[in-house]
Amino acid sequence: MSLGSGADKSGPAMVRYSTGQIWIGRLLKVVYRLLGLFSDLVFGLAYNNRTEPLPPIRNMVLLESGVSLARMIRKGKLKSEEVVRSFMERIREVNPILNCVTEDRFEEALAEARGVDKLVASGERSEAELERDTPFLGVPFTAKDSIAIRGLKHTAGLWARRHCVADEDAAVVRQLRKAGAIPLAHTNVPELCMWWETSNKIYGRSCNPYVTTRITGGSSGGEAALLAAAGSPFGLGSDIGGSIRMPCFFNGIFGHKPTAGVVCNAGQLPLATGELDTFLVTGPMCRHAGDLLPLYRVLAAPNLHLLALDRRASPSQLRFFIMEDDGGFPLSSPVHADVRGGLQRAARLLEGAHGVRVRPLRLRALFHQLEIWAHKMGSVTEAPSFAAELRERCGAVRPGWELFKWCLMLSDHTLPALLLALTERRLPADTESSRDFLRMCEALKAEFEATLGDDGVLLYPSHPTPAPYHLQPLFKGFNFAYTSIFNVLELPVSQVPLGLGSWGVPVGAQVVAARGRDHLTLAVAEELERLAGGWVCPSKIE
């Protein structure tokens, strides 16, 4: 059944609601709002704004961008070994507080760094040759645990895989190695990457570096927390419903969700089957917007012909649009004043700096963004059930029985994973309603293409609220729809930080462009970093 609001949402590619559906939608909206307010009160009292501060930053190497570090290493002004040691020490400082790193390869990374330093010192290759062929030579990086790094455990947060070690690198790790970068560590994820708080039965829960009683997001939550805490220059994330963008938003860093089908997903867990491999994307995460484009060039190297990354996009020549919410869907929280304020500030800064007009946009189908995503995901019939994924596709867990065991603290699975396994097949397949939402998805793709074209971008909330408290996503479980819709629309999105809000945690915005126009969102991300300040360090700098 579709969920109505108080208004008739009929129109092109829209659903016309019956009176009964409208009233159900109104009731659900009230219940969801009350549940959200109740959880705000209870968790606010329970945590009482407690936080554990991070150690100060005394090593200025930690504050440099990946591009800057690579340049200094090529020029011989900085040793790769020194860079690797700097981030090793920072990880050892922050990880006891944030619990974001699951396993490291420090000794191997140091050995590889020494090899880089010998190469640079030998003079066998010119600085220009090193920049051309290995643009990130000697720079360490990290990746979420679901992306394979040879020799490290590859668990995806699944208890049954707690001893599994990757025997080869994921495709994106190979690309970064080819560019000269050095893998340093794996970072924490939720169980099988299918929840937006990072916690699992193997490694436990990761914490937000700004306020440690709040979440890091998921599924690339450990990665985002580490990057925000200056524990790595840049990292790798993956995204099928917002798993790059939500953590980047909650932790105040930059991230990019590429156009679908550009970056190879091979070597990741869970395996993306059929059309899911289109919805799943892999992309860069970093503190400095200037790293996004060079990293994306490396990751997308086999498919650069699908993009226009060499085309310079000037913000003064772009058309800007803004939407501040989804139109009031019953199962989405109201957009918080801090999030709206961040969007409005970004619009004002762009208008003031470039003389452009940021025009309000209304795409009515985005009211249904959760339903569109859910039906689109559910239409992939060749993919195994999540219950089967929890058993590594060897049979399937019995969600009801596992939920009973969870209540007795005997289950090897997390509550969000069991709830997903329990409810995943509740959506009716191949019904007229389902077909309506699939048609709506295609119509919305066409509407985005027509509206944004070759020179338009949309500013859109990354999430209705800044980072909630630990466990609170269970009471606001559908808010991920603000990011997930763009996976099934296959559009490029850059996540941009816009300072800190009233809760002491970051706010930010998604910058969306038409398919294949990634260069537009990346250009706007760099400009908004210049105008709004970008990443805010969660530690004192001494």
User: Read out DSSP for 347-396?
Assistant: HHHHHHHH---EEE---GGGGGHHHHHHHHHHT-TTSPPHHHHTTTTSS-
> Nearest 5°: CA angle at 224, between 333 and 339?
30
- CA separation for the pair 33, 282 (Å, rounded): 33
* Residue 28 pLDDT class (50, 70, 90 cuts): confident
25 pLDDT above the threshold of 90: no
Given a cut of 80, is residue 5 above it in pLDDT?
A: no
Cα-based distances in Å from 522 to 170, 243, 356: 24, 18, 18
What band does 16 get if pLDDT is binned at 50, 70 and 90?
Answer: low
Q: Can you read off the two tokens belonging to residue 194? A: 């299918």
Q: Is 493 helix (H, G, I), strand (E, B) or coil?
A: strand
Q: State which amino acid sits at residue 151.
A: G
| Backbone phi and psi for residue 471, each to the nearest 5 degrees, phi listed first | 75, -15
Q: Which pLDDT does position 434 carry in this prediction?
A: 87
Average pLDDT of 25-33? 86
Confidence tier at 427 by pLDDT (50, 70, 90): low
pLDDT tens sequence across 368-398: 999 999 999 988 888 889 999 999 999 999 9
pLDDT score at 426: 58
Question: What's the burial of 361, exposed, middle or buried (CB within 10 Å: 0-12/13-18/19+)?
Answer: middle
Q: What pLDDT, on the 0 to 100 scale, is given for residue 11? A: 38
- Does 462 qualify as catalytic in the annotation? no
* pLDDT tier at 9, thresholds 50, 70, 90: very low
Q: Which of 9, 29, 79, 144 is catalytic?
A: 144
pLDDT at 6 over 50: no
Which pLDDT does position 136 carry in this prediction?
Answer: 98
List, for residues 202-253, the tens digit of each pLDDT value: 999 999 999 999 999 999 999 999 999 999 999 999 999 999 999 999 999 9
Q: 244 near 237, Cβ under 8 Å?
A: yes
Q: At what angle do helices 369-378 and 432-452 cross, to 10 degrees?
A: 120
Stated length of the chain: 542
Least confident stretch, 1-15, 45-59, 279-293 = 1-15
Annotated active-site residue 219? The verdict is yes
Q: What is the mean pLDDT of residues 484-499?
A: 98
Whether 479 and 369 have beta carbons less than 8 Å apart is answered as: no
3-state secondary structure string across 511-528: EEECCCCHHHHHHHHHHH
Q: How many angstroms separate the CA atoms of 252 and 254, rounded?
A: 7
Please confirm, yes or no, whether 539 is among the known catalytic residues. no
Average pLDDT over residues 7-13: 40
Across residues 96-123, what is the average pLDDT?
Answer: 98
Does residue 446 register a pLDDT over 80? yes
CB 330 within 8 A of CB 371: no
Question: What three-state secondary structure class fits 183?
Answer: strand
pLDDT > 90 fraction of the chain, expressed in percent and rounded: 88
Among 219, 220, 238, 494, the one annotated catalytic: 219
Can you read off the two tokens belonging to residue 399? 């969600």
CATH of 60-375+435-532, one of 3.90.1300.10, 3.40.640.10, 3.30.420.10, 1.10.260.40: 3.90.1300.10
Q: Tell me which of 224 and 14 has the higher pLDDT.
A: 224
d(CA 230, CA 248) in angstroms, rounded, equals 13
Helices and strands: H and E segment counts in the chain: 18, 13
Catalytic residue among 232, 243, 333, 411: 243
